Amino acid sequence: MSLRFVVTATDTGVGKTVFSAALADALGACYWKPIQAGLDEETDSETVRRLGRLPPQHILPEAWRLKTPASPHLAADIDGLALRPEALHLPKTTSPLIIEGAGGLLVPLTRREVFADVFARWRLPIILCARTGLGTINHTLLSLEAIRRRQIPVLGIAFIGDAQPDTQQIIAEMGGVPSLGRLPRLDPLTPDALRESFRRHFDVSQFQERCV
Ligand SMILES: Nc1ncnc2c1ncn2[C@@H]1O[C@H](COP(=O)(O)OP(=O)(O)OP(=O)(O)O)[C@@H](O)[C@H]1O
Ligand SMILES: C[C@H](N)[C@H](N)CCCCCC(=O)O
Ligand SMILES: [Mg+2]
């Protein structure tokens, strides 16, 4: 038995990859990005390896690597591939495992299926990354509705950005989920700064208590 989590977000670009790097570093975890869309810049796996200082064997190979930075259903079309979400089986690892989706919960893998449907089959606890800025209350509560509708377990919310105490509080209260902490925007974003900030703002035992 090992710790396994799905890291998703209210949108693309929220900070799932940066948060995953920090969490993988803190837990000594493996990282898996099943679908990478966009190969011209550093991929999410490469970023996690660099920022989290993960050993290479802790980065599991992607199931699909798509050239275009777009929604996976479209990126796959462009590459002439058909993604088969039902073929995404959870890898077996002896270390904890962090799995990152692409974009938000209702991003399509095909013209029929969204990431949340895959997460529902896996039934792993979700960590929902959310911005702290204006607009996040709506996005985060909507995301939680999509999770609840599919009866997927939620570990909690990882906020990313400047402190907004009331926003963080009302999301946790109305969403009925714990706030796990808040990762500030780091400048510069370095492996050391990320490790230090994660230690300061999150209690790692919150992640270690959930064994799935
Ligand atoms: N805590 C942070 N401090 C500084 N920069 C950050 C932080 N979190 C995220 N960023 C920056 O914001 C951008 C988006 O972050 P990230 O790539 O982690 O988003 P994502 O949710 O993984 O997006 P995608 O849907 O593409 O996987 C990146 O340039 C990243 O370096
Ligand atoms: C390319 C990007 N970085 C992500 N990998 C995919 C984001 C898909 C978002 C689709 C959408 O919600 O409109
Ligand atoms: Mg990412």
Q: Each residue of 1-55: pLDDT tens digit?
A: 579 999 999 999 999 999 999 999 999 999 999 999 999 999 999 999 999 999 9
pLDDT above 60 (res 211):
no
ipTM of the complex: 0.99
Asked whether 44 lines ligand 1 (CB < 6 A), one says yes
Per DSSP, the residues of 63-83 read: SEEESSSS-HHHHHHHHT---
Kindly state the tokens that stand for 119. Answer: 């997460």
DSSP H/E element including 155: strand 154-160
Whether residue 67 lies in the annotated active site: no
What are the tens digits of pLDDT across the range 121-140? 999 999 999 999 999 999 99
Beta strands in 89-153 (DSSP E): 97-100, 126-131
Q: Which residues pair with 128 in a beta bridge?
A: 8, 157
pLDDT above 50 (res 196):
yes
Contact 48, 20 (CB under 8 A): yes
pLDDT above 50 (res 182):
yes
SS3 132: coil
Whether the bond between 55 and the residue before it is cis, its omega within 30 degrees of 0, is: no
Nearest Cα neighbor of 179 from 134, 124, 120, 137 is 137
Report pLDDT for 212: 41
Distances (CA, A) of 175 to 4, 50, 141, 197: 22, 33, 6, 25
Report pLDDT for 167: 98
- Cα distance between residue 191 and residue 203, in whole Å: 18
Mean pLDDT of 45-72: 98
Domains in the chain (CATH in brackets) are: 4-208 (3.40.50.300)
pLDDT above 80 (res 61):
yes
Report pLDDT for 2: 75
Most informative mutation of 12, 62, 67 for ligand 2 (most atoms within 8 A of CB)? 12
pLDDT above 90 (res 184):
yes
- Cα distance between residue 52 and residue 37, in whole Å: 21
Contact 89, 59 (CB under 8 A): no
Instruction: Kindly report the average pLDDT of the chain as a whole number.
Output: 97
- Residues with C-beta less than 6 Å from any ligand 2 atom: 12, 37-38, 69-71, 102-104, 107
From the alpha carbon of 9, which atom of ligand 1 is closest? Answer: 21
